[in-house]
Amino acid sequence: MSGGGLFLRAAAAARACRALAAFTTSQRSLRTSPRSRGFAKELFLGTIEKKEVFPFPEVDQEELNEINQFMGPVEKFFTEDVDSRKIDQEGEIPKETLEKLKSLGLFGMQVPEEYGGLGLSNTMYARLGEIIALDTSITVTLAAHQSIGLKGIIIAGNEEQKTKYLPRLASGEHIAAFCLTEPASGSDAASIRTRATLSEDKKHYILNGSKIWITNGGLADIFTVFAKTQIVDSNNLIKDKITAFIVERNFGGVTNGKPEDKLGVRGSNTCEVHFENTKVPVENVLGEVGGGFKVAMNILNSGRFSMGSSVAGMLKKLIEMTAEYACTRKQFNKNLSEFGLIQEKFALMAQKAYVMESMAYLTAGLLDRPGLPDCSVEAAIVKVFSSEAAWQCVSEALQILGGLGYMRDYPYERLLRDARILLIFEGTNEILRMYIALTGLQHAGRVLTSRINEIKQGNVSTIVETVGRRLRDSLSRTVDLGLTGKLGVVHPSLEDSANKLEENVYYFGRTVETLLLRFGKTIVEEQMVMKRVANILINLYSMTAVLSRASRSIRIGLRNHDHEVLLANIFCVEAYHQNLFTLSQLDKYSPENLDEKIKKVAQQVLEKRTYICAHPLDRTS
């Protein structure tokens, strides 16, 4: 029955798309389902759900005052009392710093107030994250504690578990850690070796196994542990499934190795954690027995959006520091700031910071809507964009500083080292790109099923319609998805950029349809195609966020909104051209599409496991 419903809905949506594509009729017909399906996913169909993202989400004055009040002491503490250099050199956060963080309540930012936390909304959490990001080791420690460590209890815990654990976690009396990664299991859940077996009295699980690279592993008292358990499924078959457990250190048998020596974020505690015959009471199962996979996925998906604001906070500080240098350092009787190539770098940093800030707060706003909005794709986009921008900007900053940036006496090399992990943890960017692309393609694929089937079966009217549309598209069709114009949501000074976004979105939708037609479900194997799809989507979402924010800034007259317009326009034009290029790469027969050759090179290198070209000085005679 529900399948039938879905089918009807999909068919209706497909029809709606067609109507839109042909005549650009009113947006109302798009609203085929009462519940929103997420902004980013709809982009795959070539439509902009503008009601979701326009206007830019705001917080009310009261909440804003509250957070500003709260931020004062936190900021003071971070600028005055935290010595990041010392933390980095000594490889740990001093006790007193941790105590102070606890007393500020930063260990329970997102724990609901009834359990003793601050109960911050996602937006407020993001705002606070900007300040905390002034020290990366503290950021990572806190994130491991509350973004993933205790998140499981908030998401999947029952009332008793919440009342038992959350208050002490929120106060920082207990620190949490998230134990998923194993030597043989990164993102592959099937290869988890840690095992929990039910004891004979059925009151305990006996937990055995090792977890590696556990942030806070040496400090934590409460662990969220994922282990294989045997369960009997509906067909009476015994199966191994993953279950999540809340494990206290004092359950016994919990040991940890010495802290790992890392490239960056050296102040955070990362180590191996071993469980040996640890007795975990059955009431400490998080969620359902055998339901650990979903718990893990939800925790991981929920934690990502905050990286955007954290990196933005770090970048803003970086811009301050490098600008100070560039405006005082003189070469050839000129300040560095007068050289075009240096100016370019500052523009880049400002632009990246602006974009990721816009995206981070837009996503936080989307997450703060009532209900349980699914913004995992958006959050993944924020993570990918901000981590890559962080790496790029820190590297450019080092370039501005020249040799000085390379010296250990200055904080820049530490920032560079710290920024590197952002591309790796919480799901590597490669994996997240697959997630972004596949989630969207799955959505688009379902909606377009009937249409694609009709084309494949040779339904004449559908084919004629498709061909006709392609013809119209090729005759330089102007796309209007209703962002601009009389009733438009984008300010006229951003009109050009908005039109570019619309054009990109429309042709992206067409390309997605073509890709689905070409590959169907086997697109899972086409990773290079999916990477490009994800890249376009990242650009589209960031363009939308920037346009939405800049429009709001102009309309309410924020300070320096003309600067925002500049940044928004620069970014949109650049992203537009990137998108055009990527779209052409996705075209099967375009000269830009080098996938086959790239694959061949990789195969030849990997077959020999070495660089196989002869040395340029080699001779045959």
Partner 1 sequence: MSWVQAILLARGLSRGWGGICGPTLTGAPFSQVASQVLRGLHCSAATHSSHSDSSLVPDPPELSRRPIKALVPHEELFGQAPSGERDKASFVQAVQNFRQHSVRKRGHVDFIYLALRKMRQYGVERDLAVYNMLLDIFPKEVFRPRSIIQHIFVHYPRQQECGVAVLEQMENHGVMPNKETEFLLIQIFGRKSYPMLKFLRMKLWFSRFKNINPFPVPRDLPQDPVDLAKLGLRHMEPDLSARVTVYQMPLSKDSTGAADPTQPHIVGIQSPDQQAALACHNPARPIFVEGPFSLWLQDKCVYYHILRADLLAPEEREVEEIPEEWNLYYPMQLDLDYGRSSWDDYEFDIEEVEEGPVFAMCMAGAHDQATLAKWIQGLQETNPALARIPVVFRLAGSTGELLAASPGLEEPPPPPPAQGQEEEDDNLQRRQQQGQS
Residue ranges in contact with partner 1 by CB under 8 A: 180, 187-190, 241-242, 293, 296-297, 300, 427, 431-432, 434-435, 438-439, 441-442, 445-446, 449, 452-453, 456, 516-524, 588, 607-609, 614, 620-621
Largest CA distance in the chain: 83
Least Å from the CB of residue 296 to partner 1 = 6
Minimum CB separation of residue 273 from partner 1 in Å reads 18
The Cα–Cα gap between 211 and 72 comes to: 39
Residue 454, number of CB atoms within 10 A of its CB = 17
Beta-ladder partners of 207 = 196, 278
Q: How far is the CB of 491 from partner 1 (least distance, A)?
A: 37
CA distance 73 to 104: 8
| Closest to partner 1 by CB, 59 or 438 | 438
Q: Residue 96 burial (CB < 10 Å; 0-12/13-18/19+)?
A: exposed
SS3 197: strand
Task: Please say which residue, 28 or 588, places its beta carbon nearer to partner 1.
Answer: 588
- CB of 314: closest distance to partner 1 in angstroms? 25
The number of residues in the chain equals 621
Question: What angle, 0 to 180 degrees and rounded to 10, lies between the N-to-C axes of helices 376-401 and 340-367?
Answer: 160
Contacts of 612 by beta carbon, 8 Å cutoff, 6+ apart: 604, 605
Q: Which amino acid belongs to residue 483?
A: L
CA distance linking residue 532 with residue 465, whole number of Å: 27
Q: What's the closest the beta carbon of residue 599 comes to partner 1, in angstroms?
A: 11
| Backbone phi and psi for residue 89, each to the nearest 5 degrees, phi listed first | -75, -40
Write the DSSP string, 547-573: HHHHHHHHHHT-TTHHHHHHHHHHHHH
Nearest approach in angstroms of CB 291 to partner 1 is: 10
Q: Which is nearer to partner 1, 437 or 567 (CB)?
A: 437
426 in catalytic set? yes
Nearer to partner 1, 495 or 526 (CB): 526
Q: Smaller CB distance to partner 1: residue 121 or 449?
A: 449
Give least dist CB 618 to partner 1, A: 9
Nearest to 83 by CA among 92, 73, 74: 92
Which tokens go with 521?
């479900």
426, 502, 513, 564: which is the annotated catalytic residue? 426
Residue 188 or residue 200: which is nearer to partner 1 going by CB?
Answer: 188
- 385-397 CB burial, b ≥16 within 10 A, e <16: bbbbbbbebbebb
430 or 473: whose CB is closer to partner 1? 430
Where do we find the tokens 């905390």?
Answer: 132
Q: At closest approach, how far in Å is the CB of 450 from partner 1?
A: 11
Report strand pairing: 204-215 vs 222-232: unpaired
Query: Left, alpha or beta for 310 (phi > 0: left; psi -120 to 50: alpha)?
Result: alpha
- The CA distance from 589 to 600, in Å, is 17
Active-site positions read 426
